[in-house]
Amino acid sequence: MAAVAKGRFITLEGGEGAGKSTQARRLAARLSARGLSVVTTREPGGSPGAESIRELLVTGGADRWSPTTEALLMYAARRDHIERTIAPALTAGDWIISDRFADSTRAYQGAGGGAPASFIQALERYVLAELKPDLTLVLDLPPAQGLERAAARPGGETRFEAKGLEFHERLREGFLAIARVEADRCAVIDAAQPPDAVESAIWAEVSARLSP
C-alpha cells in the first residue's frame, strides 16, 4: 500500500510590519521548488466566509470592538478557515503556510487587549480541537519599527495599527511569552534584519525541524 502523504502546517506570527506576508510567499516558493504542494493563506480570512469577517475586524475605529468581541469574531472566522481551507488541504497532503493563526488571538486580544486567557483557551479547545501548527515562526522586531513599516504600506487596514504603541508593546511580549512556553513548536526570528537574512533564518528552522 502506498504511503499516505502528510501535510504540514506552518504559521507566521508577529506584530504589525514584521514582514509575515513577504516571508510567507518566499517560504512557499522554496517549498514549491522542492516539489511540494503548498497552500498559502492568512488570518483573519483564508476562506470566503472568513474574509467577510476580516472586513469587520480590520477596518473602522480602533475601539470599534471590545477585545472579547474581537476574539469571538476571530474564532468565527478561524472555524470557517479550518473547515473550508486548512483541514481539506492537510488531508490532501498539502503543506500550509498561514500568515497568522491562533497565537495572534492570544497576543492581540489577550496580551494586548486584556481579554481573559481562560476565555481564549475555551475558544481554542472547541474550535481548534487537536489542530495545531507543526511549526510557528514568530517574526520579532521593536514595535515602533514595525509600526513605521506598516504606515508605509498601501491599503486601508489600519485599525490595529491605530491602537497605540503601548498596545503593541504588550502584544510583542505576548508573542515572546508564547514562544518561550512552547519552544518545541515556536522559533523566534529577528525580523529587524534585511528580508534576505530573515528568509535564510526561516529556512534554517524549517529545514531543521520539518525536513522538507
pLDDT score, position 100: 98
Q: Which of 147, 142, 140 is nearest to 164 (CA)?
A: 147
What are the residue ranges in the chain where pLDDT is below 70?
1-5, 155-156
Q: What residue ranges do the domains of the chain occupy? A: 9-210
**pLDDT in the model for residue 99:** 98
Model pTM? Answer: 0.94
CB 199 within 8 A of CB 205: no
Place of cell 493563506: 41
pLDDT at residue 204, rounded to an integer: 98
What is residue 80's predicted lDDT score, i.e. its pLDDT?
98
The CATH class given to the 9-210 domain equals: alpha beta
Looking at residue 156, its pLDDT comes to 63
- Determine the pLDDT at residue 2: 36
| 115: alpha, beta or left? (left if phi > 0; alpha if psi -120 to 50) | beta
Q: pLDDT tens-digit profile of 150-169?
A: 888 776 678 998 999 999 99
